[in-house]
A and B are shown apart, each in its own frame.
Chain A
């Protein structure tokens, strides 16, 4: 994050995006955002807007029950070991790690 902050071409704003609409006569997207730190409301034009959406688990094993958010809970049925992002939201490195851990569980005697 420090690196991103120090990059001149990246501007970080603490705030909530209210609305995205297309400019009346143009291609730009107008992002309406409340800049919390400045206490202002801004209308900024962009060529592209990327929504950083969260992750939702895939559920393909019906016998496993899930928590309120739909992620599998570990340790329900001996012999079935949920690993990585079907168990909890996680990044690539953590997924690699968690899969390795699940493989160990499968080795239990």
Chain B
């Protein structure tokens, strides 16, 4: 690549106390030593209008296609420093040097020099990027499941101008919502239950010119990638479709009541579930005394540990069905807690005000038959008393179990369905990105994703459809979707050196790689989230992004000047995950917490992207230790790429073997996890590690 010599420029800002802390002229001298003929400038406020003017001049006059901006963190001022022409590398002098190290001290200046060397080394090692766009990008959207969520998604997608294919395995639309007798009132002051509007919604969907409905159809296979999924349906016609993205709204089923023998299910047809009663109330007369058991098999470690969030309201509503259909009736509701959030609380108050509805906080002790009635013994937890109630009917408010997403028949190396969390709901990064599954371009909506009430299902379907549309539009531009939204780079494989070891196909959390029978990876770049975990997985080092590759990071590692062992200035390489650890480090800077000037920081897309060769490069270059800081792994993981940190922990064992073969102490490599808010923790982690290494002494490879 010698022929494509890069034209580089460097702009240094001396504002925000950078100038008072660092000898900026020396930085410019260093840049000149590193890159022949580099065009340089400094400015007291680079982000000001005047500063930006000078910056644009510099780029124009030098014809630079690679620009280093040594100023504040890349996490701020990104709008100001976005350039149309050159690739921009932000060198963080403010948060990582000036605000955290002693002004003008020798070690501080050495750190600043190395920051500049690393930035320039990276610019020298990256290549030009041509975004990946599939051969043809389709804007049609597949919706799987025709219940309330599926219908809403279909109508919303079509209304936004996208053609929607709605697939329903049953012979009719509507799902659970289509079987509902009445809804709770939603308007202020309204006291009557209202008629469901699902049939109106179905009518709108069916008559929309941009919606095509496939009833009695299941999925035979889905293959391909966002922008270009091939879908085969199993129906009479054997329909074949090509779509850009998919919304999965396959819904839920009630928890298996046959497992609730302790609540009397199975003793008599008088003991029913909410769903069974919903049907009965529309077909038969309602008896005089009905008892509802809330949390039937829910919030119970032996059954469903979670709250399904809809059953309280559904049971309260059914209590009103009983009262409405049979004015002579009495209703008993046995509850542990009533969970009616938001405006549903008013509905709860309304139900409470009915004198013939009796609420008892308690736990079911036994359910038995007594003549023609059912006898329910309740341990009243408020009065600490045992109550016996004879009733004509018992309704168990059972919770929700999501339907299986295996029916999607994804032709992915990593499985046919969406990956699940512990309660078998499809996984998402539930706090920051509640709408994402681990399969890019495939969005779960409604109760297949999490238990929720009817209103939430509608909202959930709307946002899922919006993400499905966004995904298509991103793919058209070659951009990644979340969390690296807008990223135009993608993993490129140098297949000549691939040994078919399958690590990348196994470790990619998003199933971006399929593989041939032989094990050769088949990349689907638009499925990719751009985390770079495949870079970390590849023992042959054949995977890289244009601006984040084995070479670019190695060049950064090797660019710094390592003082010899007699100078007693240790060097610690830090791989810092850019998602949480890097912002935490910035926050440490904002709070002016002192950080050791011996560390050299390389941001990475995810800790999982760290390749073993970088570690050995660093150790043989003379770094005394390597500290990797990422997001929390485990059940409550905070890794933005699901299991990047976990992989780092696993790979850590192999790294220890590397250390052993190099006859180095195990402490030379350390992995830590921080939360984004824990800026004090990250300071302590770094400084304690530096102290520990000082006790161990210098890396013996330093003088080699």
Inter-chain CA distance A103–B432, complex, in Å, is 17
Query: Which of B19-27, B37-45, B455-463 lies at the binding interface?
Result: B455-463
Residues of A contacting B156 in the complex (Cβ-Cβ under 8 angstroms) = 104-105
Given contacts A67-B188, A100-B435, contact A37 B381 (CB under 8 A): yes
Q: Which residues of B contact A101 (CB under 8 A)?
A: 459-460, 462-463, 466
12 contacts between A and B (CB under 8 A): A39-B384, A68-B189, A89-B342, A96-B432, A100-B462, A100-B463, A100-B466, A100-B467, A101-B459, A101-B460, A101-B462, A107-B161
Interface string of B553-566 (1 = CB under 8 A from A): 00000000000000
Size bracket of the B interface: 20 to 34
Report whether over half of chain B's contact residues are helix, strand or loop; otherwise say mixed.
loop
Nearest CB of B to A57, in Å: 12
A14 CB, nearest partner CB in chain B, Å: 9
Once the chains bind, are B189 and A104 in contact (CB under 8 Å)? no
User: A104 contacts which chain B residues (CB < 8 A)?
Assistant: 156, 160, 462-463, 465-466, 469
A90 and B342 contacting across the interface, CB-CB below 8 Å? yes
Answer whether residue B305 sits at the interface, using C-beta atoms and an 8 A cutoff. yes
CB-CB nearest in chain B for A95: B434
Q: Select from chain A the residue with minimum beta-carbon distance to B384.
A: A39
Q: Is A40 an interface residue (CB 8 A)?
A: no
Query: Which residues of chain A have C-beta atoms less than 8 A from B200's C-beta?
Result: none
Considering the complex, give the chain B residue whose CB is closest to the CB of A89: B342
Given A67-B188, A89-B342, A104-B465, A97 and B381 contact (CB-CB distance below 8 Å): no
Per-residue contact bits, chain B 319-362, to A (CB 8 Å; 1 contact, 0 not)? 00000000000000000000001110000000000000000000
| CB closest residue in chain A, given B383 | A39
* Residue pair A107, B188 in contact (C-beta under 8 Å): no
Given A97-B459, A104-B156, A104-B469, the answer on whether A69 and B430 have CB atoms closer than 8 Å is: no
Per the bound structure, the CA–CA distance linking A103 and B341 in Å amounts to 25
Contact A96 B434 (CB under 8 A): yes
Do B160 and A107 touch (CB < 8 A)?
Answer: yes
Which residues of A are found within 8 Å of B432, using beta-carbon distances? Answer: 96
Distance A97 CA – B462 CA, assembled complex (angstroms)? 9
Residues of A in contact with B, size category: 20 to 34
A88 to B: closest C-beta gap in Å: 5
Q: Does B130 lie at the interface of the complex (its beta carbon under 8 Å from any beta carbon of A)? A: no
Question: A96 contacts which chain B residues (CB < 8 A)?
Answer: 432-435
Q: Residue A53 at the B interface, CB < 8 A? A: no
A97 to B458, CA, bound (A): 11
**Residues 82-106 (chain A) with a chain B CB within 8 angstroms:** 88-90, 92-94, 96-98, 100-101, 103-105
Q: What residues on A are CB-neighbors of B188 within 8 Å?
A: 67-68
Residues in chain B near residue A103, CB distance under 8 A = 466
Once A36-B382, A97-B434, A100-B435 are accepted as A-B contacts, the answer to whether A105 and B341 lie under 8 Å apart by CB is: no
Q: How far is the CB of B155 from chain A (nearest CB, A)?
A: 10
Per the bound structure, the CA–CA distance linking A37 and B63 in Å amounts to 77
| B459 CB to nearest chain A CB (Å) | 5
Separation of A24 and B551 alpha carbons in the complex (Å): 70
A21 within 8 A of B: no
Chain A contacts for B462, CB-based, 8 A? 100-101, 104-105
- B463 contact from A36, A68, A69, A98, Cβ within 8 A: A98
Can you name the residue of chain B whose Cβ is closest to the Cβ of A68?
Answer: B188
Interface check B159, CB cutoff 8 A: yes
Chain B residue, CB-CB nearest to A109 = B161
User: Contacts A89-B341, A98-B459 given: A108-B466 contact, CB under 8 Å?
Assistant: no
CA distance A86 to B514 in the complex (A): 45
Q: Is B431 an interface residue when CB atoms closer than 8 A count as contact?
A: yes
Complex contact A93–B434 (CB within 8 A):
yes
